[in-house]
Amino acid sequence: MYAFEYHRPTSLSEVTGLVSGKEDAKIIAGGQTLIPTLKQRLAQPSDVIDLGAVAELHGIREEGGGLVIGATTKHAEVAGSDIVRRLIPELAELANGIGDAQVRNRGTLGGSICNNDPSADYPAALVGLNATVHTNKRTIPAEEFFTGMFETALELDEIVTAVAFPKPGRVGYAKFPNPASRYATVGVLVAEVDGAVRVAVTGAGPVVFRWPEAEQALSSNFSAAALNGLTVDADGLNADIHASAEYRANLVAVMAKRAVVRAAG
């Protein structure tokens, strides 16, 4: 790991002050991606700004009937939260399937979505549940937040503060985990939000995407059978040593059906 200057601010205004003056600064929350990246010398930040002591970025609350989760809230906290279990229990299940127990004790919601790994679970949750990302400057609809592989709509000095989820109807999430990393080879979240069905797919493409044909089919018949015969084009999907694009395309349909079964169950 290259040397860097470490900062531990205690307020959001202190964070923004530190970030704006430093072009090569990196923000650390749980560090479950950043620290391995630094160890491999894939990044060389001049400064590392730790959000761990900024209380206003942390916590889970009910607001306007929906759920607001602070950026530095850990996966284990989402998984174990009574509020999440009551309002969106499938979101707690999703969080409980990220990485392993030790990663869930450190990794955060904000860190995961800002990194925007194409195989991460949370992007499917945010897009599928029509969430809104709150930053220190504005609010961004989830679909506009995730712009490309490891790319987001965030500006250089912009910081995610929280994510707001409206209360959904039925929700189901199913993923085919990579057996070593538990990242989603393909993960599909199916949800009823404001009377419409949304189907969000992670792991399959360079960035999370919706599957409109499946949404249409499920709108008239919310059952796994409604997806029979629907296929996803493998063109442009991810291919690596774990799964070809064609295999991922097939997994999208399989995981979508399993997600519907979970949602309906």
**With CB under 8 A, what is the number of residues at the site for another protein?**
28
Distances (CA, A) of 139 to 15, 54, 127, 153, 159: 18, 20, 14, 11, 11
55 binds another protein (CB under 8 A): no
Letter string b/e over residues 152-190, b meaning 16 or more CB atoms within 10 A of that residue's CB: bbbeebbbbbbbbbbebebbbbbbbbeeeebbbbbbbbb
Q: Compare residues 76 and 114 and give the one whose CB is closer to another protein.
A: 76
Name which position in 100, 144, 151, 213 contacts another protein (CB under 8 A): 100
Q: Compare residues 14 and 158 and give the one whose CB is closer to another protein.
A: 14
Q: Compare residues 52 and 206 and give the one whose CB is closer to another protein.
A: 52
Shortest distance in whole angstroms from residue 66 CB to another protein? 28
Distance, in Å, from the CA atom of 183 to the CA atom of 204, rounded to the nearest integer, reads: 11
Q: Compare residues 145 and 173 and give the one whose CB is closer to another protein.
A: 173
What tokens appear for 125 in the block? 């949750």
**Where does this chain touch another protein (CB under 8 A) — which range of 63-71, 95-103, 109-117, 162-170?**
95-103
Shortest distance in whole angstroms from residue 121 CB to another protein? 15
Do 148 and 215 form a contact (C-beta atoms < 8 A)? no
24 binds another protein (CB under 8 A): no
Reference 54, options 20, 1, 17; nearest CA is 17
50 binds another protein (CB under 8 A): yes
Shortest distance in whole angstroms from residue 147 CB to another protein? 27
The alpha carbon of residue 179 and the mean position of all alpha carbons in its chain are separated, in whole angstroms, by: 19
167 binds another protein (CB under 8 A): no
Letter string b/e over residues 50-82, b meaning 16 or more CB atoms within 10 A of that residue's CB: bbbebeebbebeeeeebbbbbbbbbbbbbbebe
Shortest distance in whole angstroms from residue 44 CB to another protein? 11
22 binds another protein (CB under 8 A): no
29 to 48, contacts with another protein by CB under 8 A?
31-32, 35-36, 38-39, 48
Name which position in 16, 22, 52, 143 contacts another protein (CB under 8 A): 52
List contacts with another protein (CB under 8 A).
1-6, 8, 28, 31-32, 35-36, 38-39, 48, 50, 52, 76, 99-103, 105-106, 180-182
